[in-house]
Amino acid sequence: MSDDASFPAVPETRLRDGGWEVTDENVETVFELPTAKVVGATRLYGDSRTREAARESAGVDQQWRFFFATALTFRPPLAPGIGPAMILPTVRSEANSSFADQLRNRGFVDVERGRRERVRTDSGDRVRLRTYTASLSLDEISATLSITGWVGVWHGDGFRIAAGAYPDRPVAEILGLADAPTELERTPQDYQDELLDLIRAVE
């Protein structure tokens, strides 16, 4: 693996068409092994279309969904005798812990780890997924935003992490809107299908 950090390939057209926008982009040390620093190059996306619709319809400015993709590099590079399979369990554990911490840093509470699933990426790599649940009090409207998150970790053309989270009920229902635009009426199943499609498309 190269010592130079590079961002993962993501489905740019699909993200743009779905109303997603880049909200952050960074390269940082995400954790350390005994012999190397693990550097992640991450692009974070927010659902700007839903956010704008909620702001216009209810005056609530909230990031309802997010998605990110990370490519990992090792500094210095792993020794020739250390294969990806030896490192993957550690990477997976660290990625899941980091995701839970990210939710807490966003103000979410009751962060709990859920079930595991296995899927394949569009390019054929095997991904192990882990779910998380959490909740956030929206004090301005006396409501609670409960979410489900998914974290996928795999090794294909390098180590990849892709993850995101979405509301457990339609945003219109959370906001108490009887007549809402279609962006706010989407179901949790719609959100889940889209997120898993995005995760599988990362390379």
CA 163, 164, 168, 170 dihedral sign is: negative
Residue 159 forms beta bridges with which residues?
Answer: 72, 155
Render pLDDT for 57-81 as a digit per residue (tens, 0 to 9). 999 999 999 999 999 999 999 888 8
Lookup result for tokens 């090792």: 74
User: In the chain, where do the E strands start and end?
Assistant: 20-32, 37-47, 66-75, 109-120, 126-138, 143-156, 158-167
Q: Distance between the two ends of the chain, CA-based, in angstroms?
A: 15
Question: What pLDDT sits at residue 180?
Answer: 93
Please name the residues in contact with 117: beta carbons below 8 A apart, sequence gap of 6 or more: 128, 129, 131
Q: What pLDDT, on the 0 to 100 scale, is given for residue 4?
A: 54
Q: Tell me the DSSP string of 5-16.
A: --PPP--HHHHH
- Using 50 as the pLDDT threshold, list the residues of the chain that sit under it: 1-3
Q: What per-residue confidence (pLDDT) applies to 5?
A: 67
